[in-house]
Amino acid sequence: MSTLHTPKSPIIDNRIKFRHLQCFIEVVRQGGVVRAADYLSLTQPAVSKKLRELEEMLGVELLNRQRKGVELTRFGEVFLRYALNSTDALREGIDRVSASSRAEHSPVVIGVLPTVATTVMPKALRAFKAMMPYADITLLNSSNKMLLDALRMSELDLVVGRLSTPAQMQGLVFEQLYQERVAIVVRPGHPVLKESLVSLEVLSDYPILMPPPDSVIRSLVDQFMILNGIRPNANRIETISHAFGRSYVRDTDTVWLISHGAVDADINEGRLAELPYDFSSTLGPVGIATRVDSHPSEAQRLLMDQVRLVIQSMHTP
């Protein structure tokens, strides 16, 4: 008769290892020590030794050994539930860590409009990199149409840009985060700034810099010009290059119609001056676009969260 009959006090014995639980569980599952040893690629004596050690540490018999196999004792039935829960929790933890490690190194290719690239993304990426420093981020900057086309072709994981036409948004999901308007800016010292009240029609007398016809805000710009009597001007340049626009406008008397977000920092720092008119008619949604059938990775979800937080902070009074 065994001397193992009085359970020890309920203090976790730190000598119990994963291998003890694994051998116990597999002996029960396989119905015997021999089959469990084969399954675990261990010797039969090694499995038997782990079982004895476990029972000695617990102070009870977990199994009744019989010629046809093994049967759980009442202590074994109780312990099996918790052993299974423990090993399952450990495996889940390993899987989660492994998934997090893969996410830490998974690439994210994001397309952004120039307005977003200079205002939102620097802050969002700093916060993202603080949490996932080894994630491989590729940031592409282009026109809204080209970015949405690339997203649809799975060349991008997500786009932070403007809501486009129904045809261009086909197969995509759009989450609006804020609205952005058009601005009219000139260089400091521009002649129109010397007038106390400047009619918008006067802007027709100056060179104009504006987005090209295929840009997402061009229709808003055209509508604004028509409503305010700004005549089409042959002396104009069409471009989506904000770097060129900044340099060109600062050195000429050109009037620049552009998304406010693209020049907000220049206005605040005095490098450009905004003409004070009502641009509410030019408001358009800006947000995150993804594919309908996409399954964002952990890194992609985290990056989108940081974009949302930055935009929320920028637009909270």
Query: What is the chain's length?
Result: 317
pLDDT at 103: 55
CATH number of 182-282: 3.40.190.10
Q: Are strands 158-162 and 284-291 parallel, antiparallel or unpaired?
A: antiparallel
Q: Domain 106-179+285-314 belongs to what architecture?
A: 3-Layer(aba) Sandwich (3.40)
pLDDT at 309: 95
Are the C-beta atoms of 155 and 286 separated by less than 8 Å?
A: no
Model pLDDT for residues 81-112, shown as the tens digit of each residue: 988 888 888 888 877 766 665 555 568 999 99
Structural domain boundaries of the chain?
18-100, 106-179+285-314, 182-282
- Fold topology of 18-100: Arc Repressor Mutant, subunit A (1.10.10)
Residues 6+ apart with CB under 8 A from 280: 181
Write out residues in the chain with pLDDT < 70, as ranges.
Answer: 1-14, 97-106, 196-198, 317
Q: Report the alpha-carbon distance of residue 221 to residue 260 in Å, rounded.
A: 12
Q: In this structure, is the dihedral angle defined by the CA atoms of residues 232, 234, 236 and 237, taken in order, positive or negative?
A: positive
pLDDT at 2: 47
Asked whether this chain's domains 18-100 and 106-179+285-314 adopt the same fold, the reply is no
pLDDT at 10: 46
